[in-house]
C-alpha cells in the first residue's frame, strides 16, 4: 500500500488522483455496509465476490521472509488466497512467485513498481506498468494473470480502461485493516474478523515488516472458518 509520489506526475494529475484516492475511501465504506458488495465490471472495480465465500487478497510481494511465512500459514489452515504481485519483485525472486502458484493460490498483477498516485501517471506509463508485470509473472510462473489491483486502490477512467484493454479484471477490496501501517495485531485482528460473505479482505506480505499481519491471521483464519465462511478468489467469483 505504501509508496512515494512519482516525480513524473503532473501537478494537476496528482491532485486529481489524490481526490479519487479519498473518494474511494468513502466508496469502500459504503460497500462494507451494503448487504452485498458490488461485483464490478469493465467500468468499475470489484469490491466483492458472489456467493457465500470471502476472498483473502495479499499485496506487494513476493518478499523473501514474509511470503514463505504467509504460505506456510495458509497451508496449515487450508486457505486459498490471491497474491497481487509487483513485477520488479517477481523479477528479483521468481522462485517465490512459482512457490505461490505451486501452493494452489491465484496470482494477480499489482503493477511493475507500485508508483503512487497511480492514476496520476500518463496512460502510456499506466499501460507499461501493467503490461510489464504481466510479462514478468508469465515468464516466472507460466501463468498469465487475469486480475489487476491498482497500487493504493487508486482507480481512474484511464486505469480501468487500460486494465480492461489488457484483458484483466479490476479488483478492489471491502475490508482494509491498514496492516501496511503496522497498527498492532489486535487492530488487524478486529478489522479482518469483521469480514463476512461476499467481501474481499486486504492484507500485505511485502513492503515492510509483516509480522503483525501473519500473527493476526493466525487468529482470523480459524475464526472465519469456524463461522462457516469458505475462502474463494475473485477469479472464481468472476
**DSSP one-letter code for 206:** S
Catalytic residue among 21, 63, 110, 204: 204
**Catalytic site includes residue 77:** no
For residues 73, 75, 78, 82, the Cα torsion angle rounded to the nearest 10 degrees is 80
Computed from CA positions of residues 149, 155, 158, 160, in that sequence, does the dihedral angle turn out positive or negative?
A: positive
The 10 Å Cβ neighbour count of residue 107 is 26
H/E segment holding residue 196: none
Whole-angstrom distance, CA of residue 188 vs CA of residue 216: 6
H/E segment holding residue 68: helix 66-77
Judged by phi (left if over 0) then psi (alpha if -120 to 50, else beta), residue 182 lies in left
Report the candidate in 82, 212, 57 with the shortest Cα–Cα distance to residue 145. Answer: 82
Cell of 158: 484511464
Pairing of strands 106-109, 230-232: unpaired
Judged by phi (left if over 0) then psi (alpha if -120 to 50, else beta), residue 15 lies in alpha
Catalytic residue among 59, 60, 172, 179: 59
95 SS3 class: helix
Report the candidate in 200, 222, 204 with the shortest Cα–Cα distance to residue 54. Answer: 200
**Catalytic site includes residue 59:** yes
Q: Which residues are catalytic?
A: 59, 204
Amino acid at each position: 500500500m505504501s509508496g512515494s509520489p512519482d516525480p513524473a506526475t503532473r501537478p494537476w494529475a496528482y491532485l486529481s488522483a489524490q481526490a479519487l484516492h479519498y473518494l474511494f475511501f468513502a466508496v469502500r465504506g459504503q460497500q462494507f455496509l451494503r448487504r452485498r458488495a458490488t461485483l464490478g465490471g469493465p467500468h468499475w472495480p470489484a469490491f466483492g465476490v458472489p456467493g457465500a465465500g470471502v476472498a483473502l487478497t495479499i499485496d506487494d510481494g513476493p518478499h523473501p521472509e514474509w511470503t514463505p511465512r504467509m504460505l506456510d500459514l495458509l497451508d496449515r489452515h487450508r486457505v486459498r488466497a490471491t497474491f497481487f504481485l509487483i513485477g520488479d519483485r517477481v523479477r528479483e525472486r521468481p522462485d517465490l512467485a512459482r512457490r505461490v502458484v505451486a501452493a494452489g493460490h491465484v496470482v494477480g498483477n499489482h503493477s511493475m513498481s507500485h508508483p503512487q498516485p497511480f492514476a496520476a501517471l500518463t496512460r502510456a506509463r499506466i499501460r507499461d506498468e501493467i503490461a510489464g508485470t504481466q510479462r514478468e509473472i508469465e515468464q516466472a510462473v507460466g501463468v498469465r494473470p487475469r486480475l489487476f489491483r491498482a497500487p493504493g486502490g487508486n482507480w481512474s477512467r484511464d486505469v480501468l480502461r487500460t486494465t480492461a484493454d489488457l484483458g484483466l479484471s479490476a479488483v478492489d477490496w471491502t475490508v482494509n485493516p491498514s496492516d501496511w501501517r503496522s497498527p498492532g495485531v489486535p487492530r488487524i485482528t478486529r478489522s479482518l474478523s469483521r469480514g463476512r460473505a461476499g467481501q474481499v479482505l486486504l492484507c500485505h506480505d511485502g513492503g515492510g515488516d509483516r509480522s503483525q499481519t501473519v500473527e493476526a491471521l493466525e487468529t482470523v483464519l480459524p475464526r472465519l472458518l469456524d463461522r462457516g465462511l469458505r475462502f474463494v478468489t475473485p477469479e472464481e467469483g468472476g
